[in-house]
Amino acid sequence: MIYLDNAATSWPKPPEVLKAMTDVLELAGGNPGRSGHRLSIAAAREVYNAREDIASFFNVADPLRLIFTSNATHAINVALRGLLKPGDHVVTSSIEHNAVMRPLRSLEKQGVHLSIVPCAADGSLDVRDVVRVMNSRTRLVAITHASNVMGTILPIAEVASVAHKAGALLLVDSAQTAGTIPIDMPAMGIDFLAFTGHKELQGPPGIGGLAIGDNVDISEIEPVMRGGTGSHSESEEQPDDLPDKFESGTLNLVGIAGLHAGIQWVKDRGIDTIRAHLKELTLALINGLSELPEIKVYGPLDTNSTVAVISFSVHHKRVSEVGLKLDEEYGILCRVGLHCAPAAHKTMGSFPEGTVRLAPGVFTTMDDISTTIRAIEQVIHS
């Protein structure tokens, strides 16, 4: 089996991740922050150590501003629904995942004004187009770091500069970049960073987070969920201090331990080494696909401008047929369709059919890529 669906969920997971998840259940299985006995204290220690290391990974000075969520979608909703009020103006791009588009469309019905900046067909964004839609009511710019459909990397630092000059904040969806591209929040001007654990951070599903920059006034953000936090139990009001304001209910201790181990694995391996490996695989895929007849490759062809996400279609073949044959006849696992990002497909001209998406990961080899190219060539002629 060749697994090329890492943009959805990375697989396999490093053994260290699996061990960390088992160990925390065996050795620290209490409820963090809810009791004073040894297992609860051990669990709380694991959570805080993970919070410190993950905050450091994104260069967040105060680990208490690292909020654990169930995934990037949850984190995006915490930021969007907590910050935006009727009358506010928000800017986004035309290649966003539905994790951004759906909450924005919902907020638009509630009186939030939305501007969608069109990207080019390859997903690239001209920052001047962002400037053109900014106004005095712009509260937030919410964009992806890299497209989950065509891999295009957006100019985050430049967008941050534009947003801040207009008095707005910047929310970045890093689902496709965290773990493969270095992210330094202060240096890049990111105010809110939504990330997920189950992709290239090598963690399990069900864990992610929202990192909040130092210049964000927490008092202006309403929690989207309220409940028990283990702190201020004498009050029936939600605590105002971090991270409790945004972390109601029992935390996913096993997921946190797995994410912590995954990030440590990425650090030990070296993010530059990981990036170089993925660029090599991506280039081989682009070159191999480009040589095949009747195939259209979408997005940038320069690996410096993209992450390891390649979309293509085959003339006169449905993408579902291509994906099914790759799986059933060749043991190659990919994703087909719209990838939860219809806006991106409309931008690049592949809506409503969608594309076949190949997403190699850290454990993918060059032999895997060669085998995949040969298999696609056979599918074309079948």
Question: Of residues 224, 340, 375, 380, which has the active-site annotation?
Answer: 340
Tell me how crowded residue 289 is: count the other CB atoms within 10 A of its CB: 21
340 is known as an active-site residue? yes
Say if CB 211 and CB 192 are below 8 A apart: yes
Residues near 189 by beta carbon (within 8 Å), at least 6 away in sequence:
156, 157, 160, 161, 163, 164, 170
Name residue 226's amino acid.
R
Alpha carbon distance 317, 356 (integer Å): 11
Say if CB 208 and CB 194 are below 8 A apart: yes
Separation of CA 194 from chain center: 7
Query: Looking up tokens 């890492």, which residue turns up?
Result: 6
User: Which pLDDT tens digit goes with each residue over 195-242?
Assistant: 999 999 999 999 999 999 999 999 999 999 999 988 889 999 999 999
Beta-strand pair 355-358/335-337: antiparallel
pLDDT in tens, the chain (382 residues): 999 999 999 999 999 999 999 999 999 988 998 888 999 999 999 999 999 999 999 999 999 999 999 999 999 999 999 999 999 999 999 999 999 999 999 999 999 999 999 999 999 999 999 999 999 999 999 999 999 999 999 999 999 999 999 999 999 999 999 999 999 999 999 999 999 999 999 999 999 999 999 999 999 999 999 999 888 899 999 999 999 999 999 999 999 999 999 999 999 999 999 999 999 999 999 999 999 999 999 999 999 999 999 999 999 999 999 999 999 999 999 999 999 999 999 999 999 999 999 999 999 999 999 999 999 999 999 8
Say if CB 240 and CB 229 are below 8 A apart: no
- Cα(first)–Cα(last) distance of the chain, in Å? 21
Query: Which domains are assigned to the chain?
Result: 2-10+270-380 (3.90.1150.10), 15-268 (3.40.640.10)
Separation of CA 318 from chain center: 28
Say if CB 96 and CB 173 are below 8 A apart: yes
Alpha carbon distance 180, 15 (integer Å): 19
User: Which pLDDT tens digit goes with each residue over 270-304?
Assistant: 999 999 999 999 999 999 999 999 999 999 999 99
